[in-house]
């Protein structure tokens, strides 16, 4: 029996090696600069084994051949084209978008109905229809309509930090604190519920939210299994979003809809927008089912719960380290409150020049996602990677990566790229705005649908926080800030630790 087992393992290994070898000359025959891959692991071995961070791998690939428009590598056994040329990136994401509509297969709806119906994981016409339904939730007018809900939440958190540190300066794990803030904001905007997670720390909404969005521990293993052996996961009912979390979010949406129908209530939030699709007639757009409504509300949770709080953590840490930046920000905040008698409106907060520049610079240096991906959906010819090489004809299923982290740390685009300098985003006292300079939220029609909301909730938090508190490096904070080499997601080495000190003359504001 042992002999047959060994022979079976050997046969499978040889088969995998043969399949890989048959594709390993994919880039060579087109004259595309590429890293030499290893069998099975391709170029991902050091990253999979945590010897090289994904950020370092992307940097290594980006500078593999600085003269090339793109380079090649293997994501395990899948050949991937990494784009280096900004104009070519724009062609793929904007001008040639119809050839690159989808993200790479992640988790399908038959494997995990809630996760598989997220806007991010949807493909082709289904994505187009749901995107069209959801887009109105994130227009400027809708942002203005939800401003008061978010501002009340931010003011509550700022008051809590000031109160807790009134006796003596207090050090906070800002990742925990700001995740609770984004949890409460998403609760009010996407689910229509009011929560206070900073004081009521074990509420169900926060507990299930954290559990169903975690890429750590068991969550990371579930995700890896679903990507590598989906049939096995389907057979044993292994899902990323556990059944108890699905039940919680589904019941929450169902009860919210029933309550609003019964009482005739309307609220400027995502649930209301999705409820209105029930009135669509034939040809006017899709009518969202309860599962689809729950998926989109959860999708907003998934997209904003961790990523937005991470942005806030990096903003806070940079402000805490740099007294000159904080002083200038607080002066802008104080002027705003004085001008509007303690109640700054949406337009005023949204148009703060220096705060906008600080957030843009943080997005540039610390993009939560180190790369964007696109999958070819119809044949498309790329120009030759280097002079004298053949053009590359991409076919359906072929994958491209856009190295966001490397592009935004490239000295050709941003002089002194490792220096935190908000002034680079200011010209004639007006912020350039992130979209021209940053790929953090994506580019083109598949750009993150919630980018305006993420920026707004971040601005509102720091307007209220800096009005009432000053930020200092915590004792546990590693300074100067360094990106963790061990994490698959963007985070600070040693975590995020900031000391809050109340601004005594502002605590009553």
Confidence check: pLDDT of 435 > 60: no
Banded pLDDT at 507 (limits 50, 70, 90): very low
| Structure confidence at residue 98 as a pLDDT band (50, 70, 90) | very high
User: In the prediction, which pLDDT does 51 show?
Assistant: 80
In a domain, 170, yes or no: yes
pLDDT digits (tens, 9 = 90+) for 271-316: 888 888 888 887 777 888 888 888 888 887 777 778 899 999 999 9
Quick: pLDDT tens for 223-276.
666 666 677 777 777 777 778 888 888 898 898 889 888 888 887 778 888 888
Q: What percent of the chain has pLDDT over 90?
A: 47
C-alpha span between 130 and 117 (Å, rounded): 10
User: From residue 259, how far is each of 35, 193, 252, 264, 375 by CA, in Å?
Assistant: 58, 12, 11, 8, 42
The stretch 424-444 carries a mean pLDDT of 75
**Mean of pLDDT values over 155-163:** 95
Q: Kindly state whether residue 247 falls inside one of the protein's structural domains.
A: yes
Q: Residue 156: pLDDT above 70?
A: yes
445-460 mean pLDDT? 92
DSSP 3-state assignment of 483?
Answer: strand
Domain-embedded: residue 57: no
pTM of the model: 0.88
- Percent of the chain residues past pLDDT 70, beyond the cut: 89
The mean pLDDT value for 42-46 works out to 86
Query: Residue 217: its pLDDT value, please?
Result: 58
User: Which CATH number does the domain housing residue 481 bear?
Assistant: 1.10.630.10
470 phi and psi, to 5 degrees?
-110, 150
Range 59-65 average pLDDT: 95
pLDDT tens-digit map of 119-149: 888 889 988 988 888 888 888 888 888 899 8
Q: At what angle do helices 204-211 and 290-305 cross, to 10 degrees?
A: 80
- 24 domain residue, yes or no: no
Q: From 430, 509, 407, 399, select the one nearest 85 (Cα to Cα).
A: 407
Residues 3-18 have pLDDT tens digits of 555 555 555 555 555 5
Question: For residue 52, is pLDDT > 60?
Answer: yes
End-to-end CA distance of the chain: 77
Mean pLDDT, rounded, of the chain: 85
Residue 218 binned pLDDT confidence (cut-offs 50, 70, 90): low
**Are the C-beta atoms of residues 493 and 483 closer than 8 Å to each other?**
yes
Q: How far is CA 31 from CA 385, 386, 479, in A?
A: 8, 8, 44
Whether 2 is in a domain gets the answer no
pLDDT at position 16 is 54
In this prediction, residue 509 has a pLDDT band, given cuts at 50, 70 and 90, of very low
Three-state SS at 392: strand
Q: Residue 125, exposed/middle/buried by CB under 10 A (0-12, 13-18, 19+)? A: exposed
* pLDDT of 222 strictly over 70: no
Q: In which domain, by residue range, is 198 found? A: 71-506
Number of domains making up the chain: 1
* Alpha helices for 282-435 (secondary structure H): 290-305, 307-321, 323-339, 346-350, 353-365, 404-407
For residue 13, being part of any structural domain is answered with: no
User: Which region among 124-128, 197-201, 347-351, 481-485 has the lowest average model confidence (pLDDT)?
Assistant: 481-485
- Is residue 9 in some structural domain? no
How confident is the model at residue 1, as a pLDDT?
44
Q: Is 56 a domain residue?
A: no
Residues 418-429, mean pLDDT to the nearest whole number? 89
Please give the average per-residue pLDDT across 65-71, as a whole number: 96
Assess whether pLDDT exceeds 70 at residue 359. yes
């Amino acid at each position: 029996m042992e002999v047959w087992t060994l022979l079976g393992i050997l046969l499978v290994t040889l088969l995998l090696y043969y399949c890989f070898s048959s594709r390993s000359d994919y880039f060579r025959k087109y004259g595309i600069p590429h890293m030499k891959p290893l069998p099975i692991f391709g170029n991902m071995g050091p990253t999979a084994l945590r010897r090289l961070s994904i950020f370092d791998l992307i940097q290594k690939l980006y500078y593999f051949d600085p003269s090339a428009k793109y380079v090649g590598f293997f994501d395990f056994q899948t050949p991937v084209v990494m784009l280096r040329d900004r104009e070519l990136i724009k062609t793929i994401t904007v001008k040639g978008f119809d050839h690159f509509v989808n993200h790479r297969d992640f988790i399908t709806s038959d494997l995990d109905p809630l996760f598989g119906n997220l806007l991010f994981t949807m493909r082709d016409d289904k994505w187009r229809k749901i995107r069209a339904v959801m887009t109105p939730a994130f227009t400027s007018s809708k942002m203005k309509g939800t401003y008061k809900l978010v501002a009340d939440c931010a003011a509550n958190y700022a008051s809590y930090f000031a109160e807790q540190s009134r006796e003596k300066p207090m050090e906070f794990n800002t990742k925990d604190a700001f995740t609770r803030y984004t949890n409460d904001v998403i609760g009010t905007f996407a689910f229509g519920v009011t929560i206070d997670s900073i004081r009521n720390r074990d509420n169900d909404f926060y507990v299930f939210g954290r559990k169903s969005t975690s890429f750590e521990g068991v969550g990371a293993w579930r995700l890896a299994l679903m990507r590598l052996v989906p049939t096995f996961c389907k057979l044993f009912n292994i899902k990323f979003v556990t059944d108890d979390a699905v039940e919680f979010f589904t019941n929450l949406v169902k009860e919210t809809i029933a309550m609003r129908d019964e009482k005739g209530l309307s609220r400027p939030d995502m649930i209301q927008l999705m409820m209105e699709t029930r009135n669509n007639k034939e040809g006017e757009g899709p009518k969202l089912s309860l599962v689809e409504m729950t998926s989109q509300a959860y999708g907003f949770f998934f997209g904003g719960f961790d990523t937005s709080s991470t942005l806030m953590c990096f903003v806070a840490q940079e402000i805490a380290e740099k007294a000159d930046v904080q002083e200038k920000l607080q002066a802008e905040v104080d002027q705003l409150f004085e001008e509007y008698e303690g109640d700054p409106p949406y337009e005023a907060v949204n148009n703060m020049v220096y705060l906008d520049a600080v957030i843009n610079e943080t997005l540039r240096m610390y993009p939560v996602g180190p790369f964007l991906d696109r999958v070819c959906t119809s044949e498309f010819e790329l120009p030759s990677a280097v002079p004298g090489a053949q053009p590359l004809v991409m076919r359906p299923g072929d994958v491209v990566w856009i190295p966001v982290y490397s592009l935004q740390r490239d000295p050709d685009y941003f002089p002194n790229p490792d220096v935190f300098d908000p002034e680079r985003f200011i010209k004639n006292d007006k912020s350039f705005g992130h979209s021209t300079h940053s790929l953090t939220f994506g580019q083109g029609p598949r750009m993150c649908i919630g980018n305006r909301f993420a920026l707004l909730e971040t601005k509102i938090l720091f307007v209220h926080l800096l009005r009432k508190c000053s930020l200092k490096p915590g004792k546990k904070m590693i300074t100067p800030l360094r990106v963790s080499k061990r994490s698959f997601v963007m985070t600070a080495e040693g975590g995020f630790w900031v000391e809050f000190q109340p601004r005594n003359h502002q605590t009553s504001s």
